[in-house]
């Protein structure tokens, strides 16, 4: 993968590449376990990066100033990223119409 000027795109691509590399090197690996591990690591890093500053009046930190606020922000992002994914809908989804 080519290096990017965009840290978001670079992190996204490297996470996908890492999952694929783990799956390719271990025939017995469950891709759900790999994906869960990647997600757990991403959540851990995201929570680490969203620690509010020491100013209780900081407007920028307001949405993440509590554990509940951080989890709500994380839920919003997770939903957005999922809905934007090319894999969000699957032709085998139970709610897909069959003609």
What does the pLDDT read at residue 98? 67
List pLDDT tens digits, range 4-52: 689 999 999 999 999 999 999 999 999 999 999 999 999 999 999 999 9
The rounded distance, in Å, linking the Cα atoms of 39 and 77 is: 13
Q: What are phi and psi of 29, to 5 degrees?
A: -70, 135
Question: Is the separation of the CB atoms in 38 and 12 below 8 Å?
Answer: no
| pTM more than 0.95 | no
Residue 2 above 60 pLDDT?
A: no
CA angle, 77 as apex, 23 and 22 as ends, to 5°?
A: 10
């Amino acid at each position: 993968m080519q290096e990017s000027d965009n840290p978001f795109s670079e992190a996204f691509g490297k996470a996908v590449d890492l999952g694929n590399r783990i799956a390719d090197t271990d025939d017995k690996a469950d891709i759900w376990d790999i994906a869960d591990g990647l997600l757990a690591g991403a959540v851990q890093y995201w929570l680490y990066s969203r620690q509010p500053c020491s100013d209780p009046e900081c407007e920028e930190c307001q949405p993440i100033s509590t554990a509940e606020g951080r989890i709500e922000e994380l839920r919003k992002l997770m939903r957005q990223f999922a809905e934007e994914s090319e894999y969000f809908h699957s032709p085998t989804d139970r709610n897909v119409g069959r003609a």
